[in-house]
Amino acid sequence: MNVHHLELFYYVARHGGIMPAVRNIPYGIQQPAVSAQVAQLEEYLGVPLFQRRPFALTPSGEKLYEFIQPFFSNLDRIATEFQGGQTRHFRIGASTIVLRDHLPRLLQGVRTKFPGLKISLREGYPAHLVELLSRDEVDLVITLVEQKALKGFHTLILLELPMVLLVPQDSPLKSAEELWQRDRIQESLICLPGHEQISKNFQTQLTKLGVEWYPAIEASSVDLIETYVATGLGIGISIAQPKRPPPPGVRVLPLKGFPPALIGAHWRGKTTPLLAAFLDVSKARAKELA
């Protein structure tokens, strides 16, 4: 039996499909190659291992995955032991803004203690990042967090940032309060998906104010919200970003009385020396920004 074929099947089964597997296999391989080699494994065994659409393991696939999972899932752990307990690979999930504007500084600080460290970066909005962490596809996420702790996760709150409105540069609005005084708000609301904490907090506060204003455009990142506002497509909900001026074509209006957004880190399991180093530099960076 080809052990490489077994490894590819392990990633397909673990991540729920061939395309998710390709995104998470820690070396370069294309979707057609994975499909072909897993098909060869099925041909060798004489049984189908999974249903393609919708993805589901067959009874034979479940039996095989149960057999190989302990071996492949523990490879990183045994490698760490041979390397003297020092992890050589760290996977981080964060928003575009964190990855672009802040993470390079954090990595510089960590690499002084862990030279030769390999880093994998994953981009996404908060709910997606938490999902990646729960599936053990990242080791740490830095994102918007809720006040209450998530079950099964460790959480460290780093910053409290005010919520703000983003309006086009040529908008006549001088304050958010002008909108609340209207009978009906005509401008389109641009925000993160409704299940994200910043969107939920915004709608909760609008209800308290007796204002109805529902999303017209849901974007997957604050960067996209800024872009859409700058092109005149509506008014966006965002958070004040320390030491970063508004993007071209956008003005920022304070949201008085609205709850702040919490930026923090989530992780699972034991706090390793490498993880502790990342948390230390993250706290130092947050203090600098605050």
The full set of domain ranges for the chain reads: 3-73, 84-159+263-289, 163-259
What class does CATH assign to 163-259? alpha beta
Produce one character per residue of 68-106: b if its CB has 16 or more CB atoms within 10 Å, e if not. eeeebeeeeeeebeeeeeebeebbbbbbebbbeebbeeb
- 84-159+263-289 and 163-259, same CATH topology: yes
Secondary structure of residue 152 in the 3-state scheme = coil
Compare 111 and 215 and report the one with higher pLDDT: 215
Question: In the CATH scheme, what is the homologous superfamily, with its name and number, of domain 84-159+263-289?
Answer: Periplasmic binding protein-like II (3.40.190.10)
> If you average pLDDT over every residue of the chain, what do you get?
88
- Fold type of domain 3-73: Arc Repressor Mutant, subunit A (1.10.10)
pLDDT digits (tens, 9 = 90+) for 64-108: 999 999 898 877 667 666 655 555 678 899 988 888 888 898 898
Q: Is the dihedral of CA 206, 207, 211, 214 positive or negative?
A: positive
